[in-house]
Structure 1
Amino acid sequence: MSFLDPLWSDLAASFTATPAPVATLRLVAAMVMGGLIGFEREWHHKPAGLRTHMLISVAAALFALLSFELLEISRQLGGAETGARNDILRLIGAVTSGVAFLAAGTIVVNAGRVKGLTTGAGMWLAGAVGLACGTGRIGLAGLAAGLTVVVLWLFRRLEDAVEHKAAREAAEEAAARAEAGLLARARHPGSEAE
Protein backbone atom coordinates (compact mmCIF):
# COMPACT_ATOMS: atom_id res chain seq x y z
CA MET A 1 0.00 0.00 0.00
CA SER A 2 1.43 3.31 -1.12
CA PHE A 3 1.23 6.48 0.95
CA LEU A 4 -0.78 7.95 -1.96
CA ASP A 5 -3.58 5.37 -1.62
CA PRO A 6 -5.31 7.20 1.25
CA LEU A 7 -5.02 10.47 -0.68
CA TRP A 8 -6.59 8.97 -3.81
CA SER A 9 -9.28 7.35 -1.68
CA ASP A 10 -10.08 10.69 -0.06
CA LEU A 11 -10.16 12.40 -3.46
CA ALA A 12 -12.51 9.74 -4.86
CA ALA A 13 -14.80 10.17 -1.83
CA SER A 14 -15.39 13.76 -2.96
CA PHE A 15 -17.50 12.45 -5.82
CA THR A 16 -19.96 10.02 -4.26
CA ALA A 17 -23.18 11.76 -5.29
CA THR A 18 -21.99 13.39 -8.50
CA PRO A 19 -19.34 11.73 -10.69
CA ALA A 20 -16.19 13.80 -11.25
CA PRO A 21 -16.82 14.42 -14.99
CA VAL A 22 -20.37 15.63 -14.26
CA ALA A 23 -19.19 17.87 -11.42
CA THR A 24 -16.49 19.27 -13.70
CA LEU A 25 -19.03 20.00 -16.43
CA ARG A 26 -21.32 21.77 -13.97
CA LEU A 27 -18.53 23.90 -12.52
CA VAL A 28 -17.16 24.82 -15.95
CA ALA A 29 -20.68 25.65 -17.19
CA ALA A 30 -21.18 27.90 -14.15
CA MET A 31 -17.84 29.60 -14.83
CA VAL A 32 -18.65 30.22 -18.50
CA MET A 33 -22.17 31.48 -17.87
CA GLY A 34 -21.08 33.68 -14.98
CA GLY A 35 -18.38 34.98 -17.31
CA LEU A 36 -20.93 35.88 -19.96
CA ILE A 37 -22.78 38.04 -17.46
CA GLY A 38 -19.57 39.47 -16.03
CA PHE A 39 -18.10 40.31 -19.44
CA GLU A 40 -20.80 42.90 -20.09
CA ARG A 41 -20.15 44.51 -16.69
CA GLU A 42 -16.39 44.44 -17.34
CA TRP A 43 -16.86 45.95 -20.81
CA HIS A 44 -18.64 48.94 -19.25
CA HIS A 45 -16.02 49.32 -16.48
CA LYS A 46 -18.40 48.43 -13.64
CA PRO A 47 -17.09 47.70 -10.13
CA ALA A 48 -17.85 43.95 -10.34
CA GLY A 49 -16.82 42.47 -13.64
CA LEU A 50 -15.76 39.27 -15.32
CA ARG A 51 -13.82 37.58 -12.53
CA THR A 52 -16.29 38.52 -9.79
CA HIS A 53 -19.28 37.12 -11.68
CA MET A 54 -17.36 33.97 -12.59
CA LEU A 55 -16.32 33.39 -8.99
CA ILE A 56 -19.84 33.95 -7.69
CA SER A 57 -21.29 31.51 -10.20
CA VAL A 58 -18.65 28.82 -9.56
CA ALA A 59 -19.02 29.21 -5.78
CA ALA A 60 -22.80 28.83 -6.02
CA ALA A 61 -22.39 25.72 -8.19
CA LEU A 62 -19.91 24.29 -5.72
CA PHE A 63 -22.31 24.86 -2.82
CA ALA A 64 -25.02 23.04 -4.77
CA LEU A 65 -22.67 20.13 -5.52
CA LEU A 66 -21.62 20.01 -1.87
CA SER A 67 -25.25 19.81 -0.80
CA PHE A 68 -25.68 16.67 -2.92
CA GLU A 69 -22.53 15.20 -1.41
CA LEU A 70 -23.73 15.95 2.12
CA LEU A 71 -27.11 14.41 1.34
CA GLU A 72 -25.36 11.26 0.07
CA ILE A 73 -23.14 11.08 3.17
CA SER A 74 -26.22 11.47 5.36
CA ARG A 75 -27.98 8.69 3.44
CA GLN A 76 -24.98 6.38 3.75
CA LEU A 77 -24.83 6.98 7.48
CA GLY A 78 -28.54 6.24 7.82
CA GLY A 79 -29.42 9.85 8.58
CA ALA A 80 -32.88 11.28 8.14
CA GLU A 81 -33.16 12.43 4.54
CA THR A 82 -35.88 14.96 5.32
CA GLY A 83 -33.54 16.96 7.54
CA ALA A 84 -30.84 16.86 4.88
CA ARG A 85 -33.33 17.96 2.23
CA ASN A 86 -34.26 20.98 4.34
CA ASP A 87 -30.58 21.87 4.51
CA ILE A 88 -30.48 21.87 0.71
CA LEU A 89 -33.29 24.41 0.67
CA ARG A 90 -31.42 26.51 3.25
CA LEU A 91 -28.44 26.44 0.91
CA ILE A 92 -30.33 28.53 -1.63
CA GLY A 93 -31.05 31.13 1.04
CA ALA A 94 -27.45 31.11 2.23
CA VAL A 95 -26.05 31.59 -1.28
CA THR A 96 -28.59 34.33 -1.97
CA SER A 97 -27.68 36.12 1.28
CA GLY A 98 -23.97 35.84 0.57
CA VAL A 99 -24.32 37.22 -2.93
CA ALA A 100 -26.61 40.00 -1.66
CA PHE A 101 -23.88 40.99 0.80
CA LEU A 102 -21.34 41.23 -2.03
CA ALA A 103 -23.79 43.02 -4.32
CA ALA A 104 -24.58 45.61 -1.65
CA GLY A 105 -20.94 46.68 -1.84
CA THR A 106 -21.43 47.76 -5.46
CA ILE A 107 -24.45 49.98 -4.77
CA VAL A 108 -23.61 53.62 -4.11
CA VAL A 109 -25.87 56.61 -3.48
CA ASN A 110 -24.28 59.91 -4.47
CA ALA A 111 -26.09 63.24 -4.73
CA GLY A 112 -29.46 61.52 -4.80
CA ARG A 113 -28.45 59.14 -7.63
CA VAL A 114 -28.24 55.41 -7.09
CA LYS A 115 -25.49 53.58 -8.97
CA GLY A 116 -24.58 49.91 -9.09
CA LEU A 117 -28.05 48.36 -8.93
CA THR A 118 -27.69 46.62 -12.29
CA THR A 119 -24.28 45.26 -11.34
CA GLY A 120 -25.71 44.01 -8.04
CA ALA A 121 -28.59 42.35 -9.87
CA GLY A 122 -26.12 40.75 -12.28
CA MET A 123 -24.16 39.34 -9.35
CA TRP A 124 -27.36 37.96 -7.84
CA LEU A 125 -28.23 36.36 -11.16
CA ALA A 126 -24.73 34.89 -11.48
CA GLY A 127 -25.34 33.19 -8.14
CA ALA A 128 -28.65 31.78 -9.35
CA VAL A 129 -27.03 30.59 -12.58
CA GLY A 130 -24.33 28.86 -10.53
CA LEU A 131 -26.92 27.15 -8.35
CA ALA A 132 -28.77 25.97 -11.45
CA CYS A 133 -25.55 24.58 -12.94
CA GLY A 134 -24.59 22.91 -9.69
CA THR A 135 -27.93 21.14 -9.47
CA GLY A 136 -27.60 19.91 -13.05
CA ARG A 137 -30.03 22.37 -14.61
CA ILE A 138 -27.50 23.63 -17.14
CA GLY A 139 -30.13 24.31 -19.81
CA LEU A 140 -32.10 26.50 -17.41
CA ALA A 141 -28.89 28.25 -16.38
CA GLY A 142 -27.97 28.83 -20.03
CA LEU A 143 -31.39 30.29 -20.77
CA ALA A 144 -31.16 32.62 -17.77
CA ALA A 145 -27.59 33.69 -18.62
CA GLY A 146 -28.58 34.31 -22.25
CA LEU A 147 -31.59 36.39 -21.26
CA THR A 148 -29.44 38.32 -18.80
CA VAL A 149 -26.90 39.19 -21.49
CA VAL A 150 -29.73 40.30 -23.80
CA VAL A 151 -31.14 42.53 -21.07
CA LEU A 152 -27.73 44.01 -20.24
CA TRP A 153 -26.69 44.68 -23.86
CA LEU A 154 -29.95 45.43 -25.68
CA PHE A 155 -31.65 47.44 -23.00
CA ARG A 156 -28.50 49.45 -22.37
CA ARG A 157 -28.75 50.58 -25.99
CA LEU A 158 -32.39 51.54 -25.46
CA GLU A 159 -31.54 53.41 -22.25
CA ASP A 160 -28.74 55.27 -24.03
CA ALA A 161 -31.11 56.25 -26.84
CA VAL A 162 -33.68 57.55 -24.34
CA GLU A 163 -31.02 59.45 -22.37
CA HIS A 164 -29.62 61.03 -25.56
CA LYS A 165 -33.12 62.03 -26.65
CA ALA A 166 -33.84 63.55 -23.23
CA ALA A 167 -30.51 65.42 -23.24
CA ARG A 168 -31.13 66.68 -26.78
CA GLU A 169 -34.65 67.84 -25.85
CA ALA A 170 -33.32 69.59 -22.72
CA ALA A 171 -30.64 71.34 -24.78
CA GLU A 172 -33.22 72.42 -27.38
CA GLU A 173 -35.50 73.72 -24.62
CA ALA A 174 -32.64 75.66 -23.00
CA ALA A 175 -31.67 77.13 -26.37
CA ALA A 176 -35.29 78.14 -27.01
CA ARG A 177 -35.51 79.83 -23.59
CA ALA A 178 -32.23 81.66 -24.18
CA GLU A 179 -33.41 82.79 -27.59
CA ALA A 180 -36.72 83.95 -26.13
CA GLY A 181 -34.83 85.87 -23.44
CA LEU A 182 -32.61 87.56 -26.05
CA LEU A 183 -35.65 88.52 -28.10
CA ALA A 184 -37.39 89.95 -25.04
CA ARG A 185 -34.32 92.03 -24.12
CA ALA A 186 -33.99 93.24 -27.70
CA ARG A 187 -37.62 94.45 -27.66
CA HIS A 188 -37.35 96.02 -24.19
CA PRO A 189 -33.74 97.15 -23.75
CA GLY A 190 -33.73 98.31 -20.09
CA SER A 191 -35.89 95.57 -18.63
CA GLU A 192 -33.06 93.25 -17.45
CA ALA A 193 -32.13 95.70 -14.69
CA GLU A 194 -35.57 95.41 -13.12
Structure 2
Amino acid sequence: MIDESVWHISHLDLTIRMVLAAVLGGFIGLEREWSNHAAGFRTHILVCLGSASIMLLSIYGFSQFVAEPNVRTDPARLAAQVISGIGFLGAGAIIRNGSSISGLTTAASVWVVAAIGLSVGAGFYYAAVLATFIVLVSLFLLNKWEKHLLRHRRNQEVMIKIFDRPGSLGRVATKFGEQGIQIKNLVMQSTSPESFDAAMDATMELRFNLRTVSTDKLLRAIDEILSLPDVIALETNSMPTGKPTSISKGKSASG
Protein backbone atom coordinates (compact mmCIF):
# COMPACT_ATOMS: atom_id res chain seq x y z
CA MET A 1 0.00 0.00 0.00
CA ILE A 2 1.42 3.38 -1.04
CA ASP A 3 1.43 6.17 1.53
CA GLU A 4 0.36 9.06 -0.71
CA SER A 5 0.91 11.65 2.02
CA VAL A 6 4.65 11.33 1.46
CA TRP A 7 4.23 12.78 -2.04
CA HIS A 8 2.37 15.93 -0.94
CA ILE A 9 3.72 19.16 0.57
CA SER A 10 1.90 22.12 2.11
CA HIS A 11 2.20 25.60 0.66
CA LEU A 12 3.82 26.80 3.89
CA ASP A 13 6.52 24.13 3.81
CA LEU A 14 7.14 24.77 0.11
CA THR A 15 7.50 28.51 0.79
CA ILE A 16 9.91 27.90 3.66
CA ARG A 17 12.13 25.71 1.49
CA MET A 18 12.28 28.15 -1.41
CA VAL A 19 12.96 31.17 0.82
CA LEU A 20 15.63 29.27 2.75
CA ALA A 21 17.30 28.26 -0.53
CA ALA A 22 17.39 31.92 -1.63
CA VAL A 23 18.85 33.00 1.72
CA LEU A 24 21.57 30.35 1.83
CA GLY A 25 22.53 30.96 -1.79
CA GLY A 26 22.55 34.70 -1.12
CA PHE A 27 25.02 34.31 1.74
CA ILE A 28 27.56 32.63 -0.53
CA GLY A 29 26.82 34.97 -3.43
CA LEU A 30 27.37 37.98 -1.17
CA GLU A 31 30.96 36.89 -0.53
CA ARG A 32 31.57 36.44 -4.27
CA GLU A 33 29.99 39.85 -4.95
CA TRP A 34 32.13 41.44 -2.23
CA SER A 35 35.25 39.96 -3.87
CA ASN A 36 34.11 41.30 -7.27
CA HIS A 37 33.82 37.94 -9.03
CA ALA A 38 31.86 37.10 -12.16
CA ALA A 39 29.05 35.14 -10.49
CA GLY A 40 27.81 37.23 -7.59
CA PHE A 41 24.88 37.78 -5.25
CA ARG A 42 21.94 37.44 -7.64
CA THR A 43 23.52 34.62 -9.65
CA HIS A 44 23.96 32.43 -6.59
CA ILE A 45 20.44 33.17 -5.38
CA LEU A 46 18.98 32.18 -8.75
CA VAL A 47 21.05 28.98 -8.94
CA CYS A 48 20.13 27.89 -5.42
CA LEU A 49 16.47 28.81 -5.82
CA GLY A 50 16.26 27.11 -9.21
CA SER A 51 17.84 23.94 -7.85
CA ALA A 52 15.41 23.86 -4.93
CA SER A 53 12.48 24.37 -7.30
CA ILE A 54 13.59 21.51 -9.51
CA MET A 55 14.06 19.27 -6.48
CA LEU A 56 10.56 20.14 -5.26
CA LEU A 57 9.18 19.48 -8.71
CA SER A 58 10.99 16.16 -8.91
CA ILE A 59 9.58 14.97 -5.57
CA TYR A 60 6.12 16.51 -5.42
CA GLY A 61 5.33 17.69 -8.93
CA PHE A 62 4.11 14.33 -10.18
CA SER A 63 2.27 13.14 -7.06
CA GLN A 64 -0.98 12.67 -9.00
CA PHE A 65 0.60 9.80 -10.91
CA VAL A 66 1.92 7.90 -7.88
CA ALA A 67 -1.20 5.76 -7.49
CA GLU A 68 -1.36 4.91 -11.17
CA PRO A 69 -0.51 1.30 -12.03
CA ASN A 70 2.74 0.63 -13.88
CA VAL A 71 4.09 4.09 -12.97
CA ARG A 72 7.41 4.32 -11.17
CA THR A 73 8.48 7.62 -9.62
CA ASP A 74 12.12 8.58 -9.19
CA PRO A 75 12.56 11.76 -7.08
CA ALA A 76 16.27 11.97 -7.99
CA ARG A 77 15.83 11.98 -11.77
CA LEU A 78 15.50 15.74 -12.29
CA ALA A 79 18.04 16.44 -9.53
CA ALA A 80 20.65 14.42 -11.38
CA GLN A 81 20.23 16.66 -14.42
CA VAL A 82 20.89 19.75 -12.30
CA ILE A 83 24.22 18.39 -11.07
CA SER A 84 25.44 17.66 -14.59
CA GLY A 85 23.84 20.68 -16.25
CA ILE A 86 25.08 23.38 -13.87
CA GLY A 87 28.53 23.06 -15.41
CA PHE A 88 27.74 25.52 -18.19
CA LEU A 89 27.45 28.34 -15.64
CA GLY A 90 30.71 27.37 -13.99
CA ALA A 91 32.49 27.25 -17.34
CA GLY A 92 31.35 30.79 -18.04
CA ALA A 93 32.99 32.01 -14.83
CA ILE A 94 36.40 30.52 -15.63
CA ILE A 95 38.80 32.92 -17.34
CA ARG A 96 42.23 32.10 -18.73
CA ASN A 97 44.78 34.90 -18.98
CA GLY A 98 48.06 33.56 -20.37
CA SER A 99 49.24 30.77 -18.11
CA SER A 100 47.05 31.87 -15.20
CA ILE A 101 43.47 30.72 -14.69
CA SER A 102 40.90 32.55 -12.57
CA GLY A 103 37.31 31.82 -11.70
CA LEU A 104 37.71 28.21 -10.59
CA THR A 105 36.58 28.99 -7.03
CA THR A 106 33.54 30.87 -8.30
CA ALA A 107 32.66 27.98 -10.61
CA ALA A 108 32.95 25.58 -7.67
CA SER A 109 30.78 27.83 -5.49
CA VAL A 110 28.05 27.84 -8.16
CA TRP A 111 28.15 24.04 -8.26
CA VAL A 112 27.97 23.79 -4.45
CA VAL A 113 25.09 26.27 -4.34
CA ALA A 114 23.19 24.01 -6.73
CA ALA A 115 23.74 21.12 -4.31
CA ILE A 116 22.56 23.28 -1.40
CA GLY A 117 19.41 24.15 -3.33
CA LEU A 118 18.72 20.49 -4.01
CA SER A 119 19.20 19.69 -0.33
CA VAL A 120 16.77 22.40 0.76
CA GLY A 121 14.26 21.32 -1.85
CA ALA A 122 14.41 17.77 -0.52
CA GLY A 123 13.96 18.97 3.07
CA PHE A 124 17.52 18.07 4.00
CA TYR A 125 17.87 21.27 6.04
CA TYR A 126 20.76 20.36 8.30
CA ALA A 127 23.00 19.36 5.41
CA ALA A 128 22.11 22.53 3.51
CA VAL A 129 22.88 24.85 6.43
CA LEU A 130 26.05 22.96 7.33
CA ALA A 131 27.27 23.07 3.72
CA THR A 132 26.61 26.81 3.58
CA PHE A 133 28.58 27.37 6.77
CA ILE A 134 31.54 25.32 5.54
CA VAL A 135 31.53 27.10 2.17
CA LEU A 136 31.57 30.52 3.85
CA VAL A 137 34.42 29.43 6.13
CA SER A 138 36.32 28.20 3.07
CA LEU A 139 35.78 31.38 1.07
CA PHE A 140 36.48 33.82 3.91
CA LEU A 141 38.93 32.24 6.35
CA LEU A 142 40.69 29.54 4.35
CA ASN A 143 41.22 31.97 1.48
CA LYS A 144 43.20 34.31 3.76
CA TRP A 145 45.10 31.39 5.29
CA GLU A 146 45.98 29.99 1.85
CA LYS A 147 47.29 33.35 0.62
CA HIS A 148 49.43 33.70 3.74
CA LEU A 149 50.76 30.14 3.57
CA LEU A 150 51.58 30.17 -0.16
CA ARG A 151 52.64 33.80 -0.51
CA HIS A 152 56.25 32.75 -1.21
CA ARG A 153 55.48 29.84 -3.53
CA ARG A 154 53.39 31.44 -6.26
CA ASN A 155 54.90 32.33 -9.60
CA GLN A 156 54.53 35.94 -10.67
CA GLU A 157 53.90 37.11 -14.22
CA VAL A 158 55.31 40.35 -15.58
CA MET A 159 54.89 41.66 -19.13
CA ILE A 160 57.36 44.38 -20.18
CA LYS A 161 57.30 46.32 -23.43
CA ILE A 162 60.71 47.65 -24.43
CA PHE A 163 62.48 49.18 -27.41
CA ASP A 164 64.27 46.44 -29.34
CA ARG A 165 67.81 47.71 -28.84
CA PRO A 166 71.08 45.86 -28.18
CA GLY A 167 71.46 44.98 -24.51
CA SER A 168 67.94 46.05 -23.48
CA LEU A 169 66.88 42.51 -22.53
CA GLY A 170 70.04 41.96 -20.53
CA ARG A 171 69.51 45.14 -18.53
CA VAL A 172 65.97 44.10 -17.62
CA ALA A 173 67.06 40.58 -16.59
CA THR A 174 69.88 42.04 -14.51
CA LYS A 175 67.42 44.07 -12.44
CA PHE A 176 65.55 40.88 -11.53
CA GLY A 177 68.80 39.13 -10.66
CA GLU A 178 69.94 41.95 -8.39
CA GLN A 179 66.84 41.37 -6.25
CA GLY A 180 67.34 37.60 -6.11
CA ILE A 181 64.37 36.91 -8.40
CA GLN A 182 64.55 33.72 -10.44
CA ILE A 183 63.34 33.80 -14.05
CA LYS A 184 61.44 30.54 -14.63
CA ASN A 185 60.36 31.24 -18.20
CA LEU A 186 60.65 34.02 -20.76
CA VAL A 187 58.61 34.55 -23.92
CA MET A 188 59.72 37.23 -26.39
CA GLN A 189 57.56 38.68 -29.15
CA SER A 190 58.90 41.27 -31.58
CA THR A 191 56.73 44.09 -32.83
CA SER A 192 57.19 45.60 -36.28
CA PRO A 193 58.27 49.26 -36.27
CA GLU A 194 55.59 51.81 -37.00
CA SER A 195 57.89 53.59 -39.45
CA PHE A 196 60.33 51.92 -41.81
CA ASP A 197 62.49 55.06 -41.69
CA ALA A 198 63.11 54.73 -37.97
CA ALA A 199 64.44 51.31 -37.03
CA MET A 200 64.71 52.47 -33.42
CA ASP A 201 60.92 52.41 -33.23
CA ALA A 202 60.93 48.60 -33.20
CA THR A 203 59.59 47.23 -29.92
CA MET A 204 59.49 43.89 -28.14
CA GLU A 205 57.18 42.35 -25.57
CA LEU A 206 58.80 40.27 -22.83
CA ARG A 207 56.65 37.95 -20.74
CA PHE A 208 58.47 36.82 -17.61
CA ASN A 209 57.37 33.99 -15.33
CA LEU A 210 59.18 34.68 -12.07
CA ARG A 211 59.81 32.95 -8.77
CA THR A 212 60.44 35.32 -5.87
CA VAL A 213 60.45 34.96 -2.09
CA SER A 214 59.37 38.53 -1.46
CA THR A 215 56.79 40.74 -3.12
CA ASP A 216 58.67 43.79 -1.86
CA LYS A 217 61.77 42.74 -3.79
CA LEU A 218 59.71 42.26 -6.92
CA LEU A 219 58.19 45.72 -6.56
CA ARG A 220 61.67 47.22 -6.10
CA ALA A 221 62.83 45.43 -9.24
CA ILE A 222 59.80 46.78 -11.13
CA ASP A 223 60.62 50.32 -10.00
CA GLU A 224 64.21 49.96 -11.21
CA ILE A 225 63.09 48.42 -14.52
CA LEU A 226 60.68 51.29 -15.13
CA SER A 227 63.60 53.71 -14.74
CA LEU A 228 65.48 52.09 -17.66
CA PRO A 229 65.43 54.22 -20.84
CA ASP A 230 64.47 51.28 -23.08
CA VAL A 231 61.32 50.35 -21.10
CA ILE A 232 57.99 51.61 -22.46
CA ALA A 233 55.37 49.98 -20.23
CA LEU A 234 54.90 47.14 -17.74
CA GLU A 235 52.00 44.92 -16.69
CA THR A 236 51.95 42.59 -13.69
CA ASN A 237 49.61 40.50 -11.55
CA SER A 238 51.86 40.92 -8.49
CA MET A 239 50.20 43.95 -6.95
CA PRO A 240 48.47 43.59 -3.54
CA THR A 241 45.08 43.41 -5.28
CA GLY A 242 46.19 40.28 -7.16
CA LYS A 243 44.68 41.63 -10.38
CA PRO A 244 46.60 42.49 -13.57
CA THR A 245 47.93 46.03 -13.26
CA SER A 246 49.39 48.16 -16.05
CA ILE A 247 52.09 50.62 -15.06
CA SER A 248 53.01 53.41 -17.43
CA LYS A 249 56.50 54.79 -17.84
CA GLY A 250 57.44 57.15 -15.03
CA LYS A 251 55.04 55.73 -12.42
CA SER A 252 56.23 53.91 -9.32
CA ALA A 253 55.07 50.36 -8.65
CA SER A 254 55.45 50.73 -4.89
CA GLY A 255 53.57 54.03 -4.83
Length-normalised TM-score, structure 2: 0.57
1:24 positional shift:
0.4
1:171 positional shift:
4.5
Which ranges of 4 or more aligned residues in structure 1 deviate by more than 2 Å?
76-79, 162-175
Aligned residue number for residue 167 of structure 2: none
Q: Which has the higher contact order (CA 8 A, sep 6+)?
A: 1
Q: Aligned AA for 1:44?
A: S
Indicate conservation of the 8 Å contact 1:61/1:130, yes or no. yes
The one-character-per-residue Cα deviations of 1:67-116 (angstroms, maximum 9, x if unpaired) are 122341221444523xx21xx32222211122111111001111111110
Give the counterpart of 1:130 among 97, 117, 121: 117
Indicate conservation of the 8 Å contact 1:18/1:65, yes or no. no
- The alignment yields a C-alpha RMSD, in angstroms, of 2.4
Give the counterpart of 1:161 among 109, 128, 148: 148
Q: Give percent identity, aligned residues only.
A: 33
Q: Which sections of structure 2, spanning at least 5 residues, go unmatched?
A: 1-6, 155-211, 222-255
Q: How many residues matched?
A: 158
Secondary structure at the aligned position of 2:26 is classed as helix
1:18 positional shift:
1.2
Give the counterpart of 2:77 among 75, 86, 90: 90
Separation in 2, partners of 1:20, 1:79: 29
User: 1:1-194 maps to which residues of 2 (within 5 A)?
Assistant: 17-81=8-72, 84-85=73-74, 88-162=75-149, 164-165=151-152, 169-171=213-215
Separation in 1, partners of 2:139, 2:98: 25
Separation in 2, partners of 1:171, 1:45: 23
Distance 1:165 1:71, change over 3 A: same
1:139 positional shift:
1.3
Indicate conservation of the 8 Å contact 1:56/1:130, yes or no. yes
Greater helix share, 1 or 2? Answer: 1
Indicate conservation of the 8 Å contact 1:18/1:68, yes or no. no
Greater strand share, 1 or 2? Answer: 2
Length-normalised TM-score, structure 1: 0.73
Aligned residue number for residue 190 of structure 1: none
Q: Which sections of structure 1, spanning at least 5 residues, go unmatched?
A: 1-15, 178-194
